[in-house]
């Protein structure tokens, strides 16, 4: 079993995603994510992983949720914790393969794991906060 953290990075009402290059979800979009190390907190992990994978420094604003469906990863048991994050600086350069998408682009793409579920939860919360 592994514990992963996911960063849902919001910038100008767009979300950062990348296209996976390896199976089991090759070609599908994914949020930046990675495994928690033994001696770090969840927030430390999401900051480290996001910086390593995207070159963006972030501030975790809130934990969106814990995703623990038994079938979320076909290879192994994987529990994901997703954080809503804001960039701490102006984004000048992100690593190759990453891009920002708008909400309307979500339906045009397939997502890895249960990342579309995570995005739908985020947008549902945003929608509620506007009412």
pLDDT digit string, tens, across residues 69-98: 999 999 999 999 999 999 999 998 899 999
Closest CA to 119 of 3, 7, 1: 7
**pLDDT at residue 128, rounded to an integer:** 86
- What is the CB-side half-sphere exposure of residue 87 using CA atoms within 13 A? 17
pLDDT digit string, tens, across residues 102-124: 999 988 899 999 999 999 999 99
């Amino acid at each position: 079993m592994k514990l992963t953290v996911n960063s849902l990075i919001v910038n100008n009402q767009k979300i950062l995603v990348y296209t996976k290059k390896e199976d089991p979800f090759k070609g599908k979009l994914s949020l930046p994510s990675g495994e928690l190390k033994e001696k770090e907190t969840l927030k430390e992990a999401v900051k480290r992983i996001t910086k390593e994978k995207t070159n963006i420094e972030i501030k975790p604003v809130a934990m969106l949720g814990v995703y623990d469906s038994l079938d979320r990863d076909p290879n192994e048991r994987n529990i994901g914790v997703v954080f809503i994050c804001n960039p701490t600086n102006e984004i000048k350069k992100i690593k190759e393969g990453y891009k920002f998408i708008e909400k309307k682009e979500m339906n045009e793409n397939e997502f890895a794991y249960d990342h579309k579920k995570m995005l739908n939860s985020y947008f549902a919360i945003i929608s509620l906060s506007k009412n």
